[in-house]
Amino acid sequence: MSAHPPDQALGDDAPLSDARVVRSWQRNAAPWTRAVREGAIGSRIAVTNAAILDTVRAVRPRTVLDIGCGEGWLSHALAADGMICAGVDVVPALVEQARLAHPAGTPPGDYRVASYEDIADGALTDPARLADWRGRFDVAVSNFALIGDDAVARMLAAVPALLAPAGHLIIQTLHPVVAGGDAPYVDGWREGSWSGFSDDFTDPAPWYFRTIASWIALVHAAGFQLVALHEPIHPGTGRPASLVLCARPRA
C-alpha cells in the first residue's frame, strides 16, 4: 500500500502550482491530441497556427527546438518545410504521439521527455543526462506552452545556451489584456477551464497570468533582448488573438 495517493506522486498538490499544470496535461493527453489533430480549436485554425509558423519561418532557421511540443503539430509542420526539429515535453504520452506522427520524407525529428525543471537543471546540455544540445538550435520556440510560474522562468534561463549564434527565442502565448477577463491586470495564478472543449477533458490546468510588461521582463531576465512583438488579430473579433515575442540572447 502506497503512502501517497497517486495524485501526490506527481508532486505538489497545491491547486494552483506548476505541478498541477503538469498533472492536468498528463491526464488530458489523449483528448488534447485529438482536439489538435481534428482542428477543433478555432483560434488556432483561424489565426495562431499561422502566426507561429510565420514568425519561425521569418528567421529562416535550419534547426528548431520545440519546447512544450505536445503532440508535435508545430514540429511536424516545420519539418515539412525542411527544418530539423527537436521537441521536448513533460508528458510522455504526448511525446510518443509526436514521435509516431512525425511526417515521412522530412528530416527526422528527435522528441524527448523533459520537464521545464529538467531543462532548467541542464538536462539538455549534459550528455550524461538527456542530450548535449549546447549551441544547437537556430530557434527555440514555445507555442502556448509556457503555462506556469517559476518552472517557466527557470527553464527560459537555460535556453540561451541551447541556441546557435544569432539564434532566436520565439514565444506565442495568450494575449494578456484580452485573455485576462475581468480579473485585475496583475501577475498570478488563474483557474483553468476546458470551456469550449469536448467532455473528454478533465481537471483543467491552472495557468500563470503575466501582463505584457511581465512577459517582456521575463524574457529579459532570462538573458534575451526583445527583437519584435506581434499581436495577431482574430478576424472574427478584430481583437488580438495572442501575443508573440521574438527575442535574441543579449551579447
Q: Which residues form the interface with its own copies (CB under 8 A)?
A: 175, 177-178, 183-186, 211-213, 216-217, 220, 225-231, 233, 238-240, 251
126, three cell numbers? 549534459
Q: Of 81 and 231, which CB lies nearer to its own copies in the complex structure?
A: 231
Q: Of 26 and 211, which CB lies nearer to its own copies in the complex structure?
A: 211
Q: Of 113 and 217, which CB lies nearer to its own copies in the complex structure?
A: 217
Considering the complex, what minimum distance in angstroms separates the CB of residue 115 from its own copies? 30
Closest CA to 52 of 73, 37, 70, 35: 73
Q: Of 14 and 228, which CB lies nearer to its own copies in the complex structure?
A: 228
In single-letter form, the type of residue at position 137 comes to F
The number of C-alpha atoms within 13 Å of 75 and in the hemisphere containing its C-beta is 34
Using DSSP, state whether 32 is helix, strand or coil.
Answer: helix
> 151 and 116 in contact (C-beta within 8 Å)?
yes
Compute φ and ψ for 29, nearest 5 degrees: -60, -40
Considering the complex, what minimum distance in angstroms separates the CB of residue 188 from its own copies? 12
244, three cell numbers? 508573440
CA distances from 125 to 20, 97, 121, 139, 157 (A): 26, 24, 9, 16, 13
Considering the complex, what minimum distance in angstroms separates the CB of residue 157 from its own copies? 18
In single-letter form, the type of residue at position 251 comes to A
Tell me the chain's radius of gyration from C-alpha atoms.
17
Q: Of 14 and 227, which CB lies nearer to its own copies in the complex structure?
A: 227
Considering the complex, what minimum distance in angstroms separates the CB of residue 66 from its own copies? 23
